[in-house]
Amino acid sequence: MGDFNHRHIQWTSLQSTGRGSRVLNLVQDSFLSQHVLEATRGENVLDIVLSSQKEFVDNVKICEPLGCSDHSQIHFIIKVKGERNRKIRYRKFFHKGRYKDMREYLAKIDWNNTLKNKTAAECWNILKSEIDCVVDKFVPLKKQGKRSKKKHLSKEAIRKINYKQMMWKTYRHTGSEERL
């Protein structure tokens, strides 16, 4: 994917004049598929997406330019086969831990007899094991949810992005800035 700046190539008919013929021949000799068929800058297809198989790229959309760029953005989906990790993940929800019950449980342990005649390392292992047991028993688990894709953006920023995309679509269809 990238800005190839070969305006002489007609990607829909796979024909070229001038300097673009070398690039077009290279793409064809490499058995690559080019997925962008709409203009990305003015009337030219300068930004392209290449893949070794047509099925690897789907849902190609030409969107508004980003910032001050004069090239349109290209959004697309790369389809790859593979198993999704559907394993549900949990984490300790310490905020909802039953700390009073923890203290009572730990207070019932006869620490003097439990740790008597043990080395420091053995005492540490016993203590750590008891604490792990108490945490497992009295701290609930919480399913780890998916995070929003735009968590880092404010609602105002998301609203402005959506407005810009709507205005770009209007411009692309009408070709005029007067209706904006």
Dump pLDDT digits (tens) for 33-70: 777 766 666 666 657 777 887 777 777 777 777 777 76
Query: 50 and 97 share a domain?
Result: no
Lowest mean pLDDT among 35-44, 47-56, 117-126, 135-144: 35-44
Distance CA 104, CA 68 (A): 64
| Secondary structure class of 12 (helix, strand, coil) | coil
Q: Among 5, 76, 60, 40, which residue's Cα sits nearest to residue 168? A: 40
Q: What is the pTM of this model?
A: 0.44
Is 105 in contact with 138 (CB distance < 8 Å)? yes
Query: 108 and 53 share a domain?
Result: no
Average pLDDT value for the chain: 79
pLDDT at 129: 92
Is residue 161, in this structure, part of any structural domain at all? no
Is residue 60, in this structure, part of any structural domain at all? yes
Distance CA 91, CA 136 (A): 11
C-alpha distance from residue 114 to each of 103, 129, 134 (Å): 17, 12, 16
For residue 18, what are the domain limits?
Answer: 2-81
Tell me: pLDDT of 103 over 90: yes
Query: 58 and 75 share a domain?
Result: yes
5 vs 89, more confident = 89
